[in-house]
Amino acid sequence: MKAVRTDRELECPGIDAGLRARGVEFVTLPDGIPEAELMAAVADVDLILMCYTPITARVIEAARNLKGIVKYGVGIDAIDIQAAMRRGIPVVNVPEYAEETVAEGAFALMIALAKRLPAITAAVSRDGWIWPEQRWLGRDIAGATLGLVGCGKIGRSMARMAGQGFRARVLGFDPGVDAATMQEAGIEKVDDLKAMLGGCDFISVHCVLNDETRGLIGRQELACMKSSAILINVSRGALIDEAALVEAIVAGRIAGAGLDVYSLEPLARSGHPMSALFDRDNVILFPHLTFFTQEAMRRLEDDTLARCFEVLEGRPVTVRSHDPRLRAQATGIEFR
């Protein structure tokens, strides 16, 4: 058996060692590999593991022996699932390894900006000390209003931390989650996104990216926010109109942003649509690492190996995700 893992910059020693221990001929490839080179690399593989690299229809067609595609992570936007289905090749992700972890990351970004940690630590590093002047005033989360755009498992974990942990009021916009489910999680359901945004001190985005949610937070939505609002996004960069967000931050129309995801990754200090946000003490630019903890990576590696072995041994592949794109598969799949 032969397998290829793309995006080797994301170190997964447990996955690599586990496959090699089973006697799998195993190759890792770099992020950003050109499509033609990837097509050549997968020509005789049984299994593709991917994280960020696009697995296009051309790549799938080039892989003559392909038996499965495993996304070692959650998002499946970079996989042409329809092309895989046409060949009866199962596609699976690992949806549950970092739900609490990513919620913790979002909360960390929020509280860091609320307490002015980037600004204050930078000033102390530069000057050795600062005094309690008005410009260093932080804000409490207790008594504030947090708005969640998306109230799935990660959003509901965020709600618990802010509501039960810090006594914040939590509002939620998510047409796919009913009011009773939200209420059980301590969230007040709101049906009007713009109205919710206008009443929030903090906004945290927790949506799946699809045709309906792309650009969900656009120029008009940003204009609805308070000038004191802080925006957090740990989901997908394209959920937000990033050019409009840069304008809003630079112009001071919102107070700050904590970002872990971007439409174009990796970031760059120059020549990138988000470059203007570097070196701003009211912005945290995190390199898509809110998932990256010891505990979450252990879960990711264990679940990924389990799915790989299912593929390589010809067993039905366990799909735990409720994403309709994965649930539409009918070949070689077992739903849980």
**Known catalytic residues?**
236, 265, 288
What are phi and psi for residue 124, nearest 5 degrees? -65, -40
How far apart CA 143 and CA 98 sit, in angstroms, is 28
Q: Which two tokens stand for residue 51?
A: 């994280």
d(CA 127, CA 30): 41
Q: How far is CA 79 from CA 58, 134, 144, 179, 330, in A?
A: 11, 50, 40, 33, 17
The tokens for 210 are 């699809």
CB atoms within 10 A of CB 260: 22
Q: DSSP character for 135?
A: G
Which residues does residue 271 pair with via DSSP β-bridges, in sequence order? none
Cα distance between residue 256 and residue 253, in whole Å: 9
Residues 122 and 144: their CA atoms lie apart, in Å, by 26
Which residue in 25, 28, 24, 1 sits closest to 12, CA to CA? 28
